[in-house]
Structure 1
Amino acid sequence: MKLLFISCMFLGWLSAVSVAMAQDTTAVKDNTLRGQYLYMLSKSNNYQGYKVINQSRLAALWKNFSDTLSKARAHAAQLQNKLNEQQQVIADLKNNMANKDKTLAESNAMVNEIKFLGIPINKGTYSTIMWLLVFALAAVLAFFVFQGARHRKEARYRIKLFEELSEEYQNHKIRANEKEKKLARELQDERNKLDEYMSRGIR
């Protein structure tokens, strides 16, 4: 019986609170917590310097405050979850970007490197070395070509000089031979004359 009485009292109190909340809700123009708080203060009575607040209005304000706080917490939790998800996505993107940068760097290294005698060398360095070798070989070739041209010129000069000397020697030899023959004839003539004089003198 006592339990039934308490239950009836509780139901009556809840209905009164609901009615008061409904009345207050229709009366309140500003539905924000601040508006409801100011409305509750405006409807409260003064007693010896204190505010006497209607319990139903206070309960309604507390319920609205709790609901608003719960919604704010739920919204904050949702935002935190979204933030965590976005941070995870950003971290994944950063990892993917780092992996792609690493792969790109390795690919560029492979593209920009060439193996020379089993030693990996940068293409720019390899190209510079090759061009230096080409210029060095071209310089050596030009030097030998120049030296060869000088030697060929010197050889032609020597050959021409030898031919001139040989021709002059042949001419000298011919002249000397002719002179020798001439002298031999003159000597023979003198001998013949001497023999003739000798034969005449004996007679």
Structure 2
Amino acid sequence: MKFFKTLLLTTITLFTFTTNFAQEADDNEKLSLNSGSIDNQFEYVIRRSNSWQDYKTVKKTWLYALKAHTIDSLEAVHKDLNDTQAIVETQSKQIEDLKLNLSNTKTSLDNTIAEKDNMELFGIQMSKPNYSLVLWSIIGGLSILLLLFIYKFRNSNSVTKQAQLTLSETEDEFEEHRRNALEREQKVRRQLQDMINEQKKS
């Protein structure tokens, strides 16, 4: 029984050690001075450096390589930052242009709405209700004048017809009177002639 316990304990310890060793070996394989992130490169230098008391002895070539890689990374970051800043400035200018266009469009829209809501009559701007009121007042006034004109025209026409009828009757009476006068005149002339003839005979 003691043997089994010892064997089990040994197996577990050996398994744990093997796993840690394999993991460390995998980590060391993943870490590299010439690839990966700056953090991984620093980790590679720290792990692969020799230890002496509380110090680490690092190869100069590793330090120079790490410095070069760090500078390259910083330059890349600065380039990305500058590119991003240029994009931001471009977008800011575009946003300002869009704001200006939006403001101009809003002003045009307000003017269009104002023009749509107002009408011009005789060169005077007025609101649609006032425009309708004035327009319908003008139409009403003209309609009343038209009705008055029609009434006057019909009345005048009736008077004219009556006058023409009276004139015609008067002309007929005058013609009758003239004819009667002519007949009387002829009759009187005949009588006068008869009297003259009688006087001549006697």
Normalised to the residue count of structure 2, the TM-score between the two structures is 0.48
Normalised to the residue count of structure 1, the TM-score between the two structures is 0.47
